[in-house]
Structure 1
């Protein structure tokens, strides 16, 4: 079995690169959704939600950079055009969302979708002992599960 400079199987690493690019694409759409609801939110909860959405999109931006850098570390090329993102993303696009509950539902659904992708990549990375990718995704998963819990608590829906 041929390995790369990191000691990981080349073919399996390329597969993980492909899946990370799918994750990157979905994150880019999620990020843009967050920007949109940050700009467009209206109502009595505006001040709190405006700040929360900014916190979330800043966190997303950091994760996007980490994903792209991991793709590069594994020897791949991160996707970087809107065309690529839209072609490879399956996350719901939130357009013209002004209402608080609709915005929070979009976030919860988006994070749930990202978790599915992250767990798939995590399992593939773990199978080849790719601790770098596994660790990064483990951190993402833990944070997102907590955010989902908080958002659902805000909605008073529970898990």
Structure 2
């Protein structure tokens, strides 16, 4: 019996990575729904620009949700796929009834900060496991999201 999975990674390392990627997936799902809610409910002077920007963000988040789930499958594991599971393992909390544009933007900054922290952990684990695929994926996410945080903080002043 081999100690590696179908893509040549140590089975134990792949299992641990899949577990952390499932935590990332859960956080992405809750963050996605928060951003959808901001998109639907934002009000005020900056409605048009924020409504459009929030749609851009949640569209990107949805693509990343699929990519993270597919990476878990590539590692030979099963992605969690029920909101009851997401609520158990996510650290991003559900946001409701937020209408103020600045509050929405602050919620997005906090969400991205949470994702970046978890992705840095996964990046370290992936590097230790010689998992270039996962490392590259989360590294790209981190780079994009750091820039987004910078831009959102500039917006907030």
Same fold? TM cut 0.5: yes
Matching of residue 56 in structure 1 with residue 53 in structure 2: no
Does the residue aligned with 1:15 lie in a helix, a strand or coil? helix
Does the Cα contact within 8 Å between 2:18 and 2:75 map onto a contact in 1?
yes
Q: Which runs of 4+ in 1 moved over 6 A?
A: none
Other-structure match for 1:108? 109
Per-residue deviation, 1:8: 0.5
Other-structure match for 2:3? 2
1:95-134 aligned at under 5 Å gives the runs: 95-134=96-135
Aligned CA-pair RMSD: 0.8
TM-score by length of 1: 0.96
Per-residue deviation, 1:132: 0.4
Other-structure match for 1:68? 69
Other-structure match for 1:146? 147
Structure 1 regions of 5+ residues with no counterpart? none
Alignment deviations for residues 76-133 of structure 1 (CA, whole Å, 9 cap, x no partner) = 0001001011111011321100001100100001100111100001100010110000
CA–CA distance in 2 between the matches of 1:82 and 1:94? 15
Alignment deviations for residues 48-69 of structure 1 (CA, whole Å, 9 cap, x no partner) = 0000000000000000000000
TM-score by length of 2: 0.98
Q: Give the total of aligned pairs.
A: 156
Other-structure match for 2:80? 79
